[in-house]
Amino acid sequence: MNTISEQINKLITIASQQQQIISADSLLVEDLGFDSLGLIDLTVLIEEKFNILIPASSIPNIFTVADLHDIVQNPCANSVISDQPSSMGNSTKSYHQGG
């Protein structure tokens, strides 16, 4: 079975479309060549693979592969999930940046 780190590294390779040496300290932009759109693509892949939500407001705070690993290990650390009634009277989930 693949570890979380191995799975994240595989997703990084898929999103960047390049074979690279990836370490926990690798910077996503400077070392691995991701731009803002690439980071969004990568976070979507991670969300789908690990069935988590990474709030868009958290993406600018993701700098390294280790940051991604931390988010996957503890997805609720950066967000608070609360049930709020929608305007239609149904309960919906809303996600807020923790602080």
What's the whole-model pTM score?
0.72
4: which 2 tokens?
């979380």
pLDDT in tens, 71-85: 999 877 655 343 333
pLDDT, one tens digit per residue, over 82-96 is 333 334 444 444 444
Question: How many helices (DSSP H) and strands (DSSP E) are in the chain?
Answer: 3, 2
Give all domains of the chain, ordered by start, each with its CATH number.
Answer: 4-97 (1.10.1200.10)
CA–CA gap between residue 69 and residue 10 (Å, rounded): 13
CA separation for the pair 31, 61 (Å, rounded): 16
Residues facing 92 on adjacent strands: 84
Per-residue model confidence as pLDDT tens digits over 14-60: 999 888 899 999 999 999 999 999 999 999 999 999 999 999 899 99
Question: Do residues 71 and 58 touch, judged by C-beta distance below 8 A?
Answer: yes
Segment (H or E) for 42: helix 36-50
What's residue 34's pLDDT? 95
How far apart are alpha carbons 99 and 91 in whole angstroms? Answer: 24
